[in-house]
Chains A and B, each alone.
Chain A
Protein backbone atom coordinates (compact mmCIF):
# COMPACT_ATOMS: atom_id res chain seq x y z
CA UNK A 1 0.00 0.00 0.00
CA UNK A 2 1.09 3.53 -0.41
CA UNK A 3 1.21 4.25 3.19
CA UNK A 4 4.75 5.40 3.74
CA UNK A 5 4.95 8.96 4.81
CA UNK A 6 7.00 11.14 2.52
CA UNK A 7 8.59 14.44 3.45
CA UNK A 8 8.66 13.63 7.10
CA UNK A 9 10.80 16.02 9.12
CA UNK A 10 13.77 14.10 10.46
CA UNK A 11 13.92 15.86 13.79
CA UNK A 12 13.79 13.28 16.51
CA UNK A 13 12.62 15.67 19.18
CA UNK A 14 9.89 14.06 21.26
CA UNK A 15 6.57 15.81 20.99
CA UNK A 16 5.10 15.41 24.42
CA UNK A 17 1.35 15.00 24.70
CA UNK A 18 0.72 17.32 21.80
CA UNK A 19 -1.71 14.83 20.30
CA UNK A 20 -4.28 15.99 22.80
CA UNK A 21 -4.35 19.50 21.47
CA UNK A 22 -6.51 18.83 18.46
CA UNK A 23 -8.79 15.97 17.53
CA UNK A 24 -9.45 14.74 13.99
CA UNK A 25 -8.64 17.48 11.53
CA UNK A 26 -11.07 17.22 8.61
CA UNK A 27 -10.07 13.85 7.17
CA UNK A 28 -10.99 12.63 3.69
CA UNK A 29 -10.69 16.04 2.10
CA UNK A 30 -9.58 16.79 -1.42
CA UNK A 31 -5.95 17.56 -0.69
CA UNK A 32 -5.61 14.27 1.19
CA UNK A 33 -7.02 12.50 -1.84
CA UNK A 34 -4.56 14.22 -4.16
CA UNK A 35 -1.73 13.48 -1.74
CA UNK A 36 -2.58 9.79 -1.76
CA UNK A 37 -2.70 9.75 -5.56
CA UNK A 38 0.71 11.40 -5.71
CA UNK A 39 2.18 9.03 -3.10
CA UNK A 40 0.71 5.97 -4.83
CA UNK A 41 2.10 7.08 -8.18
CA UNK A 42 5.63 7.59 -6.88
CA UNK A 43 5.65 4.53 -4.63
CA UNK A 44 4.29 2.22 -7.33
CA UNK A 45 7.03 3.42 -9.65
CA UNK A 46 9.68 2.85 -6.98
CA UNK A 47 8.31 -0.61 -6.30
CA UNK A 48 8.50 -1.36 -10.02
CA UNK A 49 12.06 -0.07 -10.27
CA UNK A 50 13.16 -1.96 -7.17
CA UNK A 51 12.67 -5.27 -9.00
CA UNK A 52 13.90 -4.23 -12.44
CA UNK A 53 14.29 -7.72 -13.89
CA UNK A 54 10.83 -9.08 -13.16
CA UNK A 55 9.11 -5.82 -14.06
CA UNK A 56 11.17 -5.52 -17.25
CA UNK A 57 9.73 -8.88 -18.33
CA UNK A 58 6.25 -7.44 -18.15
CA UNK A 59 6.85 -4.16 -19.91
CA UNK A 60 9.01 -5.81 -22.56
CA UNK A 61 6.17 -8.18 -23.41
CA UNK A 62 3.90 -5.15 -23.63
CA UNK A 63 6.43 -3.36 -25.84
CA UNK A 64 6.89 -6.28 -28.22
CA UNK A 65 3.15 -6.92 -28.45
CA UNK A 66 2.62 -3.29 -29.41
CA UNK A 67 5.62 -3.08 -31.73
CA UNK A 68 4.32 -5.66 -34.21
CA UNK A 69 1.01 -4.02 -35.15
CA UNK A 70 2.60 -0.58 -35.01
CA UNK A 71 5.26 -1.64 -37.51
CA UNK A 72 2.59 -3.02 -39.82
CA UNK A 73 0.68 0.19 -39.48
CA UNK A 74 3.82 2.13 -40.33
CA UNK A 75 4.48 -0.07 -43.36
CA UNK A 76 0.90 0.53 -44.50
CA UNK A 77 1.15 4.29 -44.20
CA UNK A 78 4.44 4.16 -46.11
CA UNK A 79 2.74 2.14 -48.85
CA UNK A 80 -0.17 4.53 -48.97
CA UNK A 81 2.25 7.42 -49.37
CA UNK A 82 3.91 5.38 -52.10
CA UNK A 83 0.67 4.83 -54.02
CA UNK A 84 0.18 8.58 -54.15
CA UNK A 85 3.51 8.67 -55.90
CA UNK A 86 2.41 5.85 -58.18
CA UNK A 87 -0.78 7.60 -58.96
CA UNK A 88 1.22 9.36 -61.68
CA UNK A 89 1.04 6.02 -63.47
CA UNK A 90 -2.73 6.03 -63.10
CA UNK A 91 -3.25 8.42 -65.95
CA UNK A 92 -5.81 8.60 -68.74
CA UNK A 93 -4.73 9.31 -72.30
CA UNK A 94 -7.30 10.87 -74.61
CA UNK A 95 -6.57 10.54 -78.34
CA UNK A 96 -8.17 13.40 -80.20
CA UNK A 97 -9.67 13.43 -83.69
CA UNK A 98 -7.21 13.62 -86.56
CA UNK A 99 -6.81 17.17 -87.79
CA UNK A 100 -8.25 18.89 -84.73
CA UNK A 101 -6.56 22.30 -84.49
CA UNK A 102 -4.04 22.76 -81.70
CA UNK A 103 -6.05 25.72 -80.38
CA UNK A 104 -9.06 23.44 -79.77
CA UNK A 105 -6.81 20.85 -78.12
CA UNK A 106 -5.34 23.52 -75.85
CA UNK A 107 -8.77 24.80 -74.88
CA UNK A 108 -10.01 21.30 -74.06
CA UNK A 109 -6.87 20.65 -71.99
CA UNK A 110 -7.49 23.84 -69.99
CA UNK A 111 -11.11 22.86 -69.42
CA UNK A 112 -10.12 19.43 -68.18
CA UNK A 113 -7.37 20.86 -65.99
CA UNK A 114 -9.92 23.10 -64.28
CA UNK A 115 -12.06 20.13 -63.15
CA UNK A 116 -11.72 19.27 -59.46
CA UNK A 117 -11.30 15.53 -60.10
CA UNK A 118 -8.31 16.24 -62.36
CA UNK A 119 -4.94 16.83 -60.74
CA UNK A 120 -3.18 17.74 -63.95
CA UNK A 121 -3.86 17.68 -67.70
CA UNK A 122 -1.35 18.40 -70.43
CA UNK A 123 -1.57 18.58 -74.18
CA UNK A 124 0.65 16.66 -76.58
CA UNK A 125 0.23 17.99 -80.11
CA UNK A 126 0.45 15.69 -83.14
CA UNK A 127 3.84 17.15 -84.06
CA UNK A 128 5.23 16.68 -80.59
CA UNK A 129 4.03 13.08 -80.57
CA UNK A 130 5.60 12.44 -83.95
CA UNK A 131 8.94 14.01 -82.96
CA UNK A 132 9.18 12.08 -79.77
CA UNK A 133 8.20 8.90 -81.58
CA UNK A 134 11.00 9.32 -84.07
CA UNK A 135 13.45 10.19 -81.32
CA UNK A 136 12.52 7.07 -79.47
CA UNK A 137 13.16 4.93 -82.52
CA UNK A 138 16.14 7.00 -83.72
CA UNK A 139 14.88 7.04 -87.30
CA UNK A 140 13.10 9.58 -89.47
CA UNK A 141 9.76 9.56 -91.19
CA UNK A 142 11.19 8.91 -94.63
CA UNK A 143 12.73 5.71 -93.40
CA UNK A 144 9.33 4.62 -92.10
CA UNK A 145 7.73 5.41 -95.42
CA UNK A 146 5.38 8.07 -94.07
CA UNK A 147 5.08 11.43 -95.72
CA UNK A 148 2.50 12.75 -93.27
CA UNK A 149 2.32 12.50 -89.54
CA UNK A 150 0.06 9.53 -88.78
CA UNK A 151 -0.26 10.23 -85.05
CA UNK A 152 -3.15 12.08 -83.43
CA UNK A 153 -2.83 14.81 -80.80
CA UNK A 154 -3.55 13.64 -77.29
CA UNK A 155 -4.29 14.93 -73.77
CA UNK A 156 -2.85 13.22 -70.71
CA UNK A 157 -5.12 13.49 -67.66
CA UNK A 158 -3.86 12.70 -64.15
CA UNK A 159 -6.86 12.19 -61.86
CA UNK A 160 -6.71 13.74 -58.41
CA UNK A 161 -8.81 11.07 -56.73
CA UNK A 162 -8.15 7.36 -56.39
CA UNK A 163 -11.65 6.48 -55.38
CA UNK A 164 -12.81 4.05 -58.06
CA UNK A 165 -16.37 5.37 -58.44
CA UNK A 166 -15.06 8.91 -58.90
CA UNK A 167 -12.59 7.63 -61.48
CA UNK A 168 -15.38 5.92 -63.37
CA UNK A 169 -17.44 9.09 -63.39
CA UNK A 170 -14.49 11.02 -64.82
CA UNK A 171 -14.00 8.34 -67.43
CA UNK A 172 -17.65 8.65 -68.55
CA UNK A 173 -17.35 12.41 -68.92
CA UNK A 174 -14.21 12.03 -71.02
CA UNK A 175 -15.71 9.39 -73.28
CA UNK A 176 -18.66 11.70 -73.88
CA UNK A 177 -16.45 14.50 -75.29
CA UNK A 178 -17.04 14.90 -79.07
CA UNK A 179 -13.41 15.74 -79.84
CA UNK A 180 -12.18 12.51 -78.26
CA UNK A 181 -11.60 9.62 -80.60
CA UNK A 182 -10.28 7.04 -78.18
CA UNK A 183 -9.50 6.73 -74.46
CA UNK A 184 -6.74 4.65 -72.98
CA UNK A 185 -6.99 3.87 -69.29
CA UNK A 186 -4.24 2.87 -66.92
CA UNK A 187 -6.20 2.74 -63.66
CA UNK A 188 -7.31 -0.79 -62.95
CA UNK A 189 -4.15 -1.76 -61.12
CA UNK A 190 -4.48 1.18 -58.70
CA UNK A 191 -7.95 -0.02 -57.87
CA UNK A 192 -6.56 -3.51 -57.22
CA UNK A 193 -3.74 -2.13 -55.09
CA UNK A 194 -6.20 -0.18 -52.98
CA UNK A 195 -8.34 -3.25 -52.39
CA UNK A 196 -5.20 -5.16 -51.40
CA UNK A 197 -4.20 -2.44 -48.95
CA UNK A 198 -7.68 -2.54 -47.43
CA UNK A 199 -7.29 -6.29 -46.89
CA UNK A 200 -3.88 -5.84 -45.26
CA UNK A 201 -5.38 -3.11 -43.10
CA UNK A 202 -8.07 -5.49 -41.82
CA UNK A 203 -5.44 -8.12 -41.06
CA UNK A 204 -3.32 -5.59 -39.15
CA UNK A 205 -6.36 -4.46 -37.17
CA UNK A 206 -7.15 -8.06 -36.24
CA UNK A 207 -3.55 -8.61 -35.20
CA UNK A 208 -3.60 -5.44 -33.10
CA UNK A 209 -6.73 -6.61 -31.29
CA UNK A 210 -5.20 -10.03 -30.57
CA UNK A 211 -1.96 -8.57 -29.28
CA UNK A 212 -3.95 -6.03 -27.24
CA UNK A 213 -5.64 -8.95 -25.51
CA UNK A 214 -2.17 -10.41 -24.86
CA UNK A 215 -1.12 -7.16 -23.17
CA UNK A 216 -4.31 -7.24 -21.11
CA UNK A 217 -3.55 -10.76 -19.91
CA UNK A 218 0.11 -10.06 -19.18
CA UNK A 219 -0.61 -6.95 -17.13
CA UNK A 220 -3.54 -8.68 -15.45
CA UNK A 221 -1.30 -11.53 -14.40
CA UNK A 222 1.44 -9.19 -13.17
CA UNK A 223 -1.04 -7.23 -11.06
CA UNK A 224 -2.51 -10.48 -9.77
CA UNK A 225 0.94 -11.50 -8.53
CA UNK A 226 1.42 -8.06 -6.96
CA UNK A 227 -1.90 -8.41 -5.11
CA UNK A 228 -0.97 -11.94 -4.09
CA UNK A 229 2.35 -10.85 -2.60
CA UNK A 230 0.72 -8.07 -0.58
CA UNK A 231 -2.37 -9.88 0.61
CA UNK A 232 -1.46 -9.66 4.29
CA UNK A 233 -0.81 -5.96 3.93
CA UNK A 234 -4.17 -5.48 2.21
CA UNK A 235 -5.92 -7.35 5.03
CA UNK A 236 -4.28 -5.13 7.64
CA UNK A 237 -5.11 -1.84 5.99
CA UNK A 238 -8.71 -2.92 5.32
CA UNK A 239 -9.06 -3.60 9.03
CA UNK A 240 -7.63 -0.14 9.71
CA UNK A 241 -10.44 1.41 7.68
CA UNK A 242 -9.04 1.63 4.15
CA UNK A 243 -11.69 2.08 1.49
CA UNK A 244 -11.82 -0.07 -1.63
CA UNK A 245 -10.47 2.81 -3.72
CA UNK A 246 -7.56 3.33 -1.32
CA UNK A 247 -6.62 -0.34 -1.54
CA UNK A 248 -6.87 -0.42 -5.31
CA UNK A 249 -5.02 2.82 -6.01
CA UNK A 250 -1.40 1.58 -5.83
CA UNK A 251 -2.22 -1.33 -8.15
CA UNK A 252 -3.99 0.98 -10.58
CA UNK A 253 -0.86 3.12 -10.70
CA UNK A 254 1.26 0.04 -11.16
CA UNK A 255 -0.85 -0.71 -14.26
CA UNK A 256 -0.39 2.86 -15.50
CA UNK A 257 3.39 2.65 -15.08
CA UNK A 258 3.62 -0.68 -16.88
CA UNK A 259 1.55 0.75 -19.72
CA UNK A 260 3.67 3.88 -19.93
CA UNK A 261 6.98 2.02 -19.84
CA UNK A 262 5.73 -0.58 -22.33
CA UNK A 263 4.40 2.13 -24.65
CA UNK A 264 7.62 4.13 -24.57
CA UNK A 265 9.67 0.96 -25.12
CA UNK A 266 7.40 0.08 -28.06
CA UNK A 267 7.99 3.51 -29.57
CA UNK A 268 11.76 3.04 -29.25
CA UNK A 269 11.56 -0.44 -30.83
CA UNK A 270 9.40 0.76 -33.71
CA UNK A 271 11.67 3.70 -34.40
CA UNK A 272 14.76 1.48 -34.23
CA UNK A 273 13.29 -1.06 -36.65
CA UNK A 274 12.15 1.67 -39.06
CA UNK A 275 15.65 3.15 -38.95
CA UNK A 276 17.20 -0.27 -39.45
CA UNK A 277 15.01 -0.96 -42.52
CA UNK A 278 15.40 2.47 -44.03
CA UNK A 279 18.46 1.90 -46.20
CA UNK A 280 17.70 -1.65 -47.48
CA UNK A 281 14.19 -0.48 -48.33
CA UNK A 282 15.49 2.55 -50.17
CA UNK A 283 17.86 0.35 -52.14
CA UNK A 284 15.07 -2.11 -52.96
CA UNK A 285 12.59 0.51 -54.09
CA UNK A 286 15.12 2.39 -56.19
CA UNK A 287 15.52 -0.70 -58.39
CA UNK A 288 11.89 -0.04 -59.40
CA UNK A 289 12.66 3.60 -59.96
CA UNK A 290 10.70 4.54 -56.83
CA UNK A 291 11.64 6.91 -54.10
CA UNK A 292 11.62 5.38 -50.64
CA UNK A 293 9.29 7.12 -48.26
CA UNK A 294 9.65 5.29 -44.93
CA UNK A 295 7.20 6.80 -42.51
CA UNK A 296 8.08 7.64 -38.89
CA UNK A 297 5.69 7.72 -35.98
CA UNK A 298 4.49 11.29 -35.79
CA UNK A 299 3.46 13.09 -32.62
CA UNK A 300 -0.19 11.99 -32.82
CA UNK A 301 0.74 8.39 -33.65
CA UNK A 302 3.15 8.30 -30.71
CA UNK A 303 0.53 9.73 -28.39
CA UNK A 304 -2.04 7.18 -29.57
CA UNK A 305 0.47 4.33 -29.11
CA UNK A 306 1.35 5.31 -25.54
CA UNK A 307 -2.23 6.10 -24.52
CA UNK A 308 -3.41 2.79 -25.97
CA UNK A 309 -0.69 1.00 -24.03
CA UNK A 310 -1.71 2.73 -20.79
CA UNK A 311 -5.39 2.13 -21.49
CA UNK A 312 -5.01 -1.60 -22.11
CA UNK A 313 -2.73 -1.99 -19.07
CA UNK A 314 -5.25 -0.16 -16.90
CA UNK A 315 -7.98 -2.48 -18.11
CA UNK A 316 -5.76 -5.46 -17.22
CA UNK A 317 -5.15 -4.05 -13.75
CA UNK A 318 -8.89 -3.50 -13.21
CA UNK A 319 -9.73 -7.04 -14.23
CA UNK A 320 -7.09 -8.43 -11.84
CA UNK A 321 -8.34 -6.24 -8.98
CA UNK A 322 -11.94 -7.19 -9.67
CA UNK A 323 -11.10 -10.86 -9.48
CA UNK A 324 -8.46 -11.09 -6.77
CA UNK A 325 -9.07 -8.32 -4.22
CA UNK A 326 -12.00 -10.31 -2.84
CA UNK A 327 -9.54 -12.92 -1.57
CA UNK A 328 -7.85 -10.38 0.68
CA UNK A 329 -10.62 -9.68 3.19
CA UNK A 330 -9.51 -9.45 6.83
CA UNK A 331 -9.86 -12.63 8.85
Chain B
Protein backbone atom coordinates (compact mmCIF):
# COMPACT_ATOMS: atom_id res chain seq x y z
CA UNK B 1 0.00 0.00 0.00
CA UNK B 2 2.87 2.36 0.90
CA UNK B 3 6.25 1.54 -0.63
CA UNK B 4 9.38 3.61 -0.04
CA UNK B 5 12.33 2.56 -2.19
CA UNK B 6 15.55 4.34 -1.30
CA UNK B 7 13.68 7.58 -0.80
CA UNK B 8 15.63 10.65 0.25
CA UNK B 9 14.37 14.11 1.00
CA UNK B 10 16.62 17.13 1.02
CA UNK B 11 14.98 20.41 1.93
CA UNK B 12 16.05 23.61 0.29
CA UNK B 13 19.00 24.81 2.28
CA UNK B 14 20.83 21.50 2.03
CA UNK B 15 19.56 19.66 5.11
CA UNK B 16 18.80 16.01 4.37
CA UNK B 17 15.68 15.21 6.42
CA UNK B 18 15.36 11.63 5.13
CA UNK B 19 18.17 9.47 3.76
CA UNK B 20 17.55 6.47 1.58
CA UNK B 21 14.41 5.19 3.28
CA UNK B 22 13.07 1.78 2.28
CA UNK B 23 9.82 0.95 4.02
CA UNK B 24 6.93 -1.23 2.89
CA UNK B 25 3.53 -1.13 4.51
CA UNK B 26 1.02 -3.66 3.24
CA UNK B 27 -2.70 -3.25 2.82
CA UNK B 28 -4.52 -3.54 6.14
CA UNK B 29 -1.40 -3.04 8.24
CA UNK B 30 -1.08 -0.66 11.18
CA UNK B 31 2.38 0.79 11.74
CA UNK B 32 3.85 3.27 14.22
CA UNK B 33 6.56 5.65 13.16
CA UNK B 34 8.74 6.82 16.02
CA UNK B 35 11.86 8.85 16.54
CA UNK B 36 13.13 11.87 18.36
CA UNK B 37 11.95 15.34 17.50
CA UNK B 38 13.49 16.31 14.18
CA UNK B 39 14.09 12.69 13.14
CA UNK B 40 11.98 13.14 10.01
CA UNK B 41 8.60 11.63 10.95
CA UNK B 42 6.56 14.56 9.69
CA UNK B 43 8.66 14.74 6.55
CA UNK B 44 7.97 11.08 5.80
CA UNK B 45 4.21 11.64 6.14
CA UNK B 46 4.39 14.78 4.00
CA UNK B 47 5.97 12.73 1.23
CA UNK B 48 3.01 10.33 1.34
CA UNK B 49 0.47 13.16 1.25
CA UNK B 50 2.47 14.80 -1.51
CA UNK B 51 2.88 18.02 0.43
CA UNK B 52 6.59 17.50 -0.20
CA UNK B 53 8.22 15.77 -3.14
CA UNK B 54 10.96 13.18 -2.69
CA UNK B 55 14.40 14.32 -3.85
CA UNK B 56 15.34 10.84 -4.99
CA UNK B 57 14.09 7.26 -4.86
CA UNK B 58 10.66 5.92 -5.64
CA UNK B 59 7.53 6.23 -3.55
CA UNK B 60 4.41 4.24 -4.44
CA UNK B 61 1.18 4.87 -2.54
CA UNK B 62 -2.11 3.13 -3.24
CA UNK B 63 -0.77 1.97 -6.61
CA UNK B 64 0.35 5.45 -7.70
CA UNK B 65 3.97 6.42 -8.23
CA UNK B 66 4.11 9.80 -6.54
CA UNK B 67 7.12 11.18 -8.39
CA UNK B 68 5.14 10.92 -11.61
CA UNK B 69 1.96 12.44 -10.24
CA UNK B 70 1.00 15.58 -12.11
CA UNK B 71 -0.15 18.65 -10.18
CA UNK B 72 -3.69 18.25 -11.42
CA UNK B 73 -3.77 14.62 -10.22
CA UNK B 74 -2.78 15.43 -6.65
CA UNK B 75 -6.28 16.40 -5.41
CA UNK B 76 -7.81 13.12 -6.59
CA UNK B 77 -4.91 11.15 -5.15
CA UNK B 78 -5.39 12.85 -1.76
CA UNK B 79 -9.04 11.85 -1.62
CA UNK B 80 -7.95 8.29 -0.89
CA UNK B 81 -6.06 9.40 2.20
CA UNK B 82 -7.39 10.24 5.64
CA UNK B 83 -5.10 12.68 7.41
CA UNK B 84 -5.09 13.47 11.14
CA UNK B 85 -2.97 16.38 12.41
CA UNK B 86 -1.59 17.05 15.85
CA UNK B 87 -3.41 20.40 15.91
CA UNK B 88 -6.46 18.81 14.19
CA UNK B 89 -6.72 21.73 11.67
CA UNK B 90 -10.46 22.15 11.97
CA UNK B 91 -12.22 25.15 10.47
CA UNK B 92 -13.07 27.16 13.56
CA UNK B 93 -15.90 29.20 12.03
CA UNK B 94 -17.84 26.11 10.98
CA UNK B 95 -19.78 23.52 12.92
CA UNK B 96 -18.56 20.04 13.77
CA UNK B 97 -20.97 18.71 11.15
CA UNK B 98 -19.64 21.01 8.43
CA UNK B 99 -16.05 20.15 9.31
CA UNK B 100 -16.66 16.43 9.02
CA UNK B 101 -18.67 16.94 5.82
CA UNK B 102 -15.76 18.74 4.09
CA UNK B 103 -14.14 15.74 2.37
CA UNK B 104 -17.53 14.61 1.05
CA UNK B 105 -18.46 18.07 -0.23
CA UNK B 106 -15.06 18.35 -1.92
CA UNK B 107 -15.62 14.98 -3.58
CA UNK B 108 -19.05 16.16 -4.77
CA UNK B 109 -21.14 13.67 -2.82
CA UNK B 110 -24.90 14.03 -2.87
CA UNK B 111 -26.23 15.94 0.17
CA UNK B 112 -28.34 12.95 1.22
CA UNK B 113 -25.26 10.73 1.40
CA UNK B 114 -23.31 13.50 3.10
CA UNK B 115 -25.73 13.69 6.01
CA UNK B 116 -25.82 9.93 6.42
CA UNK B 117 -22.06 9.48 6.27
CA UNK B 118 -21.20 12.44 8.49
CA UNK B 119 -23.51 11.10 11.18
CA UNK B 120 -22.04 7.63 10.84
CA UNK B 121 -18.52 9.04 11.27
CA UNK B 122 -19.51 11.22 14.23
CA UNK B 123 -21.26 8.25 15.77
CA UNK B 124 -18.07 6.20 15.54
CA UNK B 125 -16.04 8.79 17.41
CA UNK B 126 -18.90 9.28 19.89
CA UNK B 127 -19.70 12.89 19.02
CA UNK B 128 -23.09 12.57 17.36
CA UNK B 129 -24.65 14.87 19.93
CA UNK B 130 -22.12 17.59 19.18
CA UNK B 131 -22.74 18.05 15.44
CA UNK B 132 -24.08 21.60 15.82
CA UNK B 133 -21.23 22.72 18.09
CA UNK B 134 -18.28 24.81 16.98
CA UNK B 135 -14.84 23.26 17.53
CA UNK B 136 -14.03 25.99 20.03
CA UNK B 137 -16.82 24.70 22.30
CA UNK B 138 -15.20 21.25 22.50
CA UNK B 139 -12.37 19.88 24.65
CA UNK B 140 -8.98 19.05 23.12
CA UNK B 141 -9.79 15.33 23.01
CA UNK B 142 -13.14 15.98 21.39
CA UNK B 143 -11.56 18.27 18.79
CA UNK B 144 -9.09 15.54 17.93
CA UNK B 145 -11.96 13.07 17.56
CA UNK B 146 -13.69 15.48 15.17
CA UNK B 147 -10.42 15.56 13.22
CA UNK B 148 -10.45 11.76 13.09
CA UNK B 149 -14.11 11.67 12.02
CA UNK B 150 -13.21 14.04 9.16
CA UNK B 151 -10.28 11.80 8.20
CA UNK B 152 -12.37 8.61 8.06
CA UNK B 153 -15.71 9.94 6.77
CA UNK B 154 -14.83 9.00 3.18
CA UNK B 155 -13.58 5.55 4.26
CA UNK B 156 -10.10 6.17 2.92
CA UNK B 157 -7.81 3.29 2.01
CA UNK B 158 -5.01 4.82 4.08
CA UNK B 159 -5.19 6.66 7.38
CA UNK B 160 -2.20 8.85 8.31
CA UNK B 161 -1.74 10.60 11.63
CA UNK B 162 1.04 12.95 12.74
CA UNK B 163 1.33 13.01 16.54
CA UNK B 164 -2.44 12.59 16.95
CA UNK B 165 -2.12 12.44 20.74
CA UNK B 166 0.56 15.08 21.08
CA UNK B 167 -1.67 17.49 22.95
CA UNK B 168 -3.67 14.97 24.97
CA UNK B 169 -3.29 13.40 28.41
CA UNK B 170 -2.51 9.64 28.64
CA UNK B 171 -6.08 8.51 29.21
CA UNK B 172 -7.41 10.38 26.18
CA UNK B 173 -4.39 9.24 24.13
CA UNK B 174 -5.30 5.61 24.77
CA UNK B 175 -8.87 6.25 23.62
CA UNK B 176 -7.64 7.87 20.42
CA UNK B 177 -5.27 5.00 19.68
CA UNK B 178 -8.07 2.55 20.33
CA UNK B 179 -10.10 4.39 17.68
CA UNK B 180 -7.31 3.96 15.15
CA UNK B 181 -7.13 0.24 16.00
CA UNK B 182 -10.84 -0.05 15.29
CA UNK B 183 -10.47 1.48 11.85
CA UNK B 184 -7.53 -0.81 11.18
CA UNK B 185 -9.62 -3.83 12.15
CA UNK B 186 -12.11 -3.07 9.36
CA UNK B 187 -9.29 -3.03 6.81
CA UNK B 188 -7.87 0.49 6.73
CA UNK B 189 -4.10 0.79 6.39
CA UNK B 190 -2.91 2.98 9.26
CA UNK B 191 0.39 4.84 9.75
CA UNK B 192 0.83 6.89 12.92
CA UNK B 193 3.81 9.09 13.73
CA UNK B 194 4.33 9.43 17.46
CA UNK B 195 7.20 9.90 19.88
CA UNK B 196 5.15 8.55 22.77
CA UNK B 197 7.11 5.31 23.16
CA UNK B 198 5.28 4.22 26.28
CA UNK B 199 1.95 4.31 24.52
CA UNK B 200 3.28 2.55 21.43
CA UNK B 201 4.91 -0.24 23.42
CA UNK B 202 1.63 -1.09 25.08
CA UNK B 203 -0.15 -1.43 21.74
CA UNK B 204 1.94 -4.17 20.16
CA UNK B 205 1.99 -3.04 16.54
CA UNK B 206 4.86 -2.94 14.10
CA UNK B 207 7.15 0.02 14.79
CA UNK B 208 9.39 1.83 12.30
CA UNK B 209 11.98 3.96 14.04
CA UNK B 210 13.67 6.99 12.54
CA UNK B 211 16.86 8.56 13.73
CA UNK B 212 18.34 11.62 12.03
CA UNK B 213 16.51 10.77 8.84
CA UNK B 214 17.53 7.12 8.74
CA UNK B 215 15.31 4.12 9.33
CA UNK B 216 16.71 2.15 12.29
CA UNK B 217 14.64 -1.01 12.36
CA UNK B 218 11.45 -2.39 10.97
CA UNK B 219 10.81 -5.38 13.22
CA UNK B 220 8.43 -8.00 12.03
CA UNK B 221 4.77 -7.12 12.11
CA UNK B 222 3.39 -7.91 15.53
CA UNK B 223 -0.30 -7.60 15.00
CA UNK B 224 -2.48 -7.92 18.00
CA UNK B 225 -4.51 -11.09 17.98
Contact = CB atoms under 8 A, between A and B. Distances in A.
Interface string B34-53: 00000000000000010100
Contacts of A12: 129, 131
B148 interface: no
Nearest to A29: B108
Contacts of B114: 5, 8
B103 A5 contact: no
B128 A14 contact: yes
Interface stretch (A16-24, A116-124, A192-200): A16-24
B49 to A, nearest CB: 7
11 contacts: A3-B105, A6-B111, A8-B111, A24-B107, A27-B108, A240-B79, A240-B83, A240-B150, A241-B75, A241-B107, A246-B75
A237 to B, nearest CB: 6
Contact of A14 (B72, B107, B113, B119): B119
Interface residues of B, number: 39
Interface string A1-12: 001111111001
B91 A236 contact: yes
A3 B83 contact: no
A289 interface: no
B123 A237 contact: no
A4 B109 contact: no
Interface in A8-61: 8-9, 12, 14-20, 22-25, 27-29, 31-33, 35-36
A7 B111 CA distance: 8
A33 B108 contact: yes
A285 to B, nearest CB: 57
A298 B101 CA distance: 47
Interface string B86-121: 000101001001100111011111110111110111
Contact of A28 (B108, B115, B121): B108
Interface in A264-280: none
A241 B75 CA distance: 4
A286 B116 CA distance: 74
Interface in B49-86: 49, 51, 72, 75-79, 83
Contact of A238 (B75, B111, B121): B75
Given A19-B155, A330-B51, A5 B105 contact: yes
Interface string B128-140: 1101000000000
A23 to B, nearest CB: 7
Contacts of A25: 109-110, 113
B62 to A, nearest CB: 13
Interface of B: 49, 51, 72, 75-79, 83, 89, 91, 94, 97-98, 101-103, 105-111, 113-117, 119-121, 123, 128-129, 131, 150, 154-155
A130 B70 CA distance: 94
Interface string A72-83: 000000000000
Given A15-B120, A17-B120, A3 B115 contact: no
Nearest to A238: B75
A242 B75 contact: yes
A5 B101 contact: yes
Contacts of B83: 239-240
Nearest to A23: B155
Contacts of B75: 238, 241-244, 246
Nearest to B109: A27
Nearest to B81: A241
A233 interface: yes
B120 A18 contact: yes
7 residue pairs, one from A and one from B, having the closest CB atoms? A32-B108, A19-B120, A241-B79, A241-B78, A27-B107, A243-B75, A15-B119
B40 to A, nearest CB: 16
Interface in A205-255: 232-233, 235-244, 246
Nearest to A30: B108
Contacts of A331: 51
A32 B91 contact: no
B223 to A, nearest CB: 23
B110 A32 contact: yes
Nearest to A7: B111
Nearest to B78: A241
B116 A4 contact: no
Nearest to B105: A3
Given A18-B116, A19-B116, 11 more contacts: A3-B102, A5-B98, A14-B123, A15-B115, A15-B119, A16-B120, A23-B155, A35-B108, A243-B72, A246-B75, A331-B51
Contacts of A19: 116-117, 120-121, 155
Contacts of A6: 111
Given A19-B116, A19-B120, A5 B97 contact: yes
Contacts of A22: 113
Nearest to A32: B108
A9 B115 contact: yes
B107 A233 contact: no
A15 B123 contact: yes
Contacts of B110: 25, 31-32
